[in-house]
Amino acid sequence: MLALVLAACIGPPPSSPDEARAALARGDAAHAAFDSASARAEYERALALDPAGVEARARLAHVLGDLGEEAAAAGRAEEARGLHERALAVADGLASDVPDRPEGHLAVATALGSLVPFLSGPGKVSASRRIDASARRATELDPCLAPAYAVLGITLRELSSVGGFARGLARAVLGGLPEGDLEDAEWLLRAAAALDDGDPFLHYQLALTLERRGDPAGAVRHLERALALPDREARDGRSRADAAARLARLRR
């Protein structure tokens, strides 16, 4: 009886840093196998063992985004939004706790980029400004961080279709949209692809931008590169059909 009382008062033994690292490694293995649900469970386990862990929080935000994309692709919009909001909450906490590390700022920009389709007009403007600020801060802290250049480039590409009236209204009422155009978007995505040439996502996004810019030959080269590379993320598998269809159309 005395042993039970002491155990209840003292609590469980402190976790070992090795346990948290092991959970992270299992999460990484699951993520590499495109098993996002198992990766999430392991990253959450790592975070429970080490609540201040930067890697656990950054990777959890990333895999929550993966799960959100999977839910959106399956037509489960509310579930997708909830997952992206959870990713943003994790990212915001990380950016606040370790503002001098790039991981949290990148995670904020990425989560917000995924949330944009679910937001109203004013919400989109506010999110685009935060994406711009967070991604730029990430590149200041790590100039070689390819995903930060990519999220900036994608954001500017999508904003390039916003008309003058809407831009003026956003400027007058909401402080304006991030500065930049399709040329800037191309430069940023070229920088991302140069920094990480083996990522098919970056080549696919650069191809979309080049097609928008009226450079079909350039788009073809990067679509071919994207399709030749092995998938890194589940999203790469989902984009292959679109990449192949675009490539066939542009070759014609």
Report whether 145 contacts 139 (CB < 8 A): yes
90 with 147, same domain?
Answer: no
| CA atoms in the 13 A half-sphere facing the CB of 67 | 24
Mark which of 98, 127, 158 sits at the end of a domain.
98
Angle at 98 between CA 94 and CA 101, to 5 degrees: 100
37 with 87, same domain?
Answer: yes
pTM: 0.86
Rounded Cα distance between 191 and 97, Å, is 29
Crossing angle, helix 54-73 and helix 234-251, to 10 degrees? 50
Burial label, 220 (beta-carbon count in 10 A; 0-12, 13-18, 19+): middle
Rounded Cα distance between 138 and 133, Å, is 9
Higher pLDDT, 121 or 242: 242
With 90 as the cut, is the pLDDT of residue 179 above it?
no
171 with 202, same domain?
Answer: no
Domain presence at residue 160: yes
Domain presence at residue 156: yes
123 with 191, same domain?
Answer: yes
203 with 177, same domain?
Answer: no
Rounded Cα distance between 115 and 91, Å, is 13
CATH code of residue 38: 1.25.40.10
Domain presence at residue 138: yes
235 with 186, same domain?
Answer: no
Mark which of 152, 168, 195 sits at the end of a domain.
195
Mark which of 151, 180, 195 sits at the end of a domain.
195
216 with 252, same domain?
Answer: yes
pLDDT for 16: 64
pLDDT, tens only, 1-34: 444 433 444 444 445 678 999 999 999 999 999 9
Reading the block at residue 114, the tokens are: 């995924």
Burial label, 74 (beta-carbon count in 10 A; 0-12, 13-18, 19+): exposed
pLDDT, tens only, 105-155: 999 999 999 998 898 777 787 888 899 999 999 999 999 999 999 999 998
pLDDT for 106: 97
In total, how many domains does the chain have? 3
Residue ranges making up the domain that contains 234: 197-252
Domain presence at residue 15: no
pLDDT for 146: 97
Per-state percent for the chain, helix, strand, coil, to nearest 5: 80, 0, 20
Domain presence at residue 113: no
Query: How far is the CA of 206 from the CAs of 13, 189, 212, in angstroms?
Result: 50, 5, 10
pLDDT, tens only, 184-193: 999 999 999 9
Domain presence at residue 11: no
pLDDT for 15: 53
173 with 235, same domain?
Answer: no
Mean of per-residue pLDDT scores for the chain: 87
